[in-house]
Amino acid sequence: MKHKVFLGSIIAAVAAFVLYAANIKRVENAQLKVVGPKTSKIEQKNKKKTKAKAPQAKKLKEPKVNSIGYSNHVKAKSGSDRKLVKIIKKTMGLDDSYQVVTQDLNDSKRFAVVANTEKAHNAGKVMQLYLLIALYEQEQKGKMGSKTAVKIARKDKAKGDRMLQVNMAYGVAYLREAMLKGSKTASNALIRKIGLKNIDSVVRRMGAAQTTMAKNFNGDSYGKTTATDLAKTMIGLYQGRVLNRQHASKVLSTLASSRNRPQLVKGIRGGVYAIGDDDFATAIVQGRGNYAISVWSSNNKNLGKQINRWFDQKHK
């Protein structure tokens, strides 16, 4: 009996060992999978940590202007003279936004329109061009003349302007010269006298579709325009649009007599009729070749000379 009990104990022990070995093997082969609620605080905290540790994206460099699909891609209008376009691109470089328009006044097929932005931009002194044209149109219509006087109103007075006094009357010619010398008060008085609607009418009839004139010149911007609109305006003056030859000549003479020529035309000889500043400028140049040029850019130092040289060589 004792032998039977001993034998049963041995069989039970062996069976237990086999079962234990099988369980060990199953545990070793099993994959550990932790299941928890997706909205748990621990998981959200871990996500934040992972996000914080993620490497930051490198700042993209400005794409080259000849890359397709970028807003600063330089484009030349269809029909533009290839050699002229090449000169403009080389002169303006790759680092700045710009608009450049130039047109041979004796050959409509010889032109170049090159830009990497088409929208209108804030403009300063160059907007006086439209005020001058509107002023001489009023004279052409007989509504204003050399004897016309304008009293400076309090709302005309620009801060810091000491050239003109409130309630004093000044002749139109004097106000025109004061405006060209930088008097915002004179500009404001002329805008009020001529009427903003009349000035806007001149802008539209000159073909300047993207140009808007400010209500006054008290701020840094006197309105918005484009190089294309300015070129159309200068060409319109040359062709007798809006103003007859006599009054168009008066506008051009006023521009020619200005001592503060924009950088665009400095160093150019011949008949130069220009207005603007270092950002926006436009001109008509009469030399070996007659052409109009307009630019919007903060980097146009050598552009005028390069364009002038090209036109001179074309008309040798």
Tens of pLDDT along 14-34?
455 544 445 444 434 444 333
The predicted pLDDT at position 46 comes to: 43
The predicted pLDDT at position 301 comes to: 79
Q: Which residue has the higher pLDDT, 36 or 154?
A: 154
CATH class of residue range 124-222: alpha beta
Question: Quick one: pLDDT band at residue 43, thresholds 50, 70, 90?
Answer: very low
Burial per residue of 161-183, b for 16 or more beta-carbon CB atoms within 10 angstroms, e otherwise:
bebbeeeeebebeebbebbbeeb
Instruction: Write out the H or E segment, with its range, that includes residue 2.
Output: helix 2-29
> Residue 162, Cα to own-chain centre: how many angstroms?
33
Residue 107 confidence (pLDDT) above 70: yes
Residue 314 confidence (pLDDT) above 90: no
Instruction: Give the residue among 252, 133, 258 at the shortest CA–CA distance from 190.
Output: 133
What span, in angstroms and rounded, lies between the C-alpha atoms of 52 and 54? 6
Mean pLDDT (whole number) for 210-234: 97
- What is the rounded average pLDDT for all residues in the chain? 83
Question: Quick one: pLDDT band at residue 91, thresholds 50, 70, 90?
Answer: very high
Mean pLDDT (whole number) for 123-132: 98
Q: Rounded to two decimals, what is the model's pTM?
A: 0.77
Tens of pLDDT along 225-260?
999 999 999 999 999 999 999 999 999 999 999 878
Q: Give the CATH fold of the 71-119+226-316 domain.
A: Beta-Lactamase (3.30.450)
Domain ranges of the chain: 71-119+226-316, 124-222
Q: Are 101 and 231 in contact (CB under 8 A)?
A: yes
Backbone angles phi, psi at 227, to 5 degrees: -65, -35
Tens of pLDDT along 279-293?
999 999 999 889 999
The predicted pLDDT at position 15 comes to: 53
Most confident of 54-63, 67-76, 243-252: 243-252
The predicted pLDDT at position 96 comes to: 86
Q: Which residues face 103 on adjacent strands?
A: 111, 292
Q: Do the two domains 71-119+226-316 and 124-222 of this chain adopt the same fold?
A: no
Mean pLDDT (whole number) for 165-187: 96
Q: Which residue type is seen at 13? A: A
Residue 61 confidence (pLDDT) above 50: no
* 316: exposed, middle or buried (Cβ count in 10 Å: 0-12, 13-18, 19+): exposed
Q: Which residue has the higher pLDDT, 12 or 249?
A: 249
DSSP β-ladder status, 212-213 and 75-76:
unpaired
Mean pLDDT (whole number) for 208-224: 96
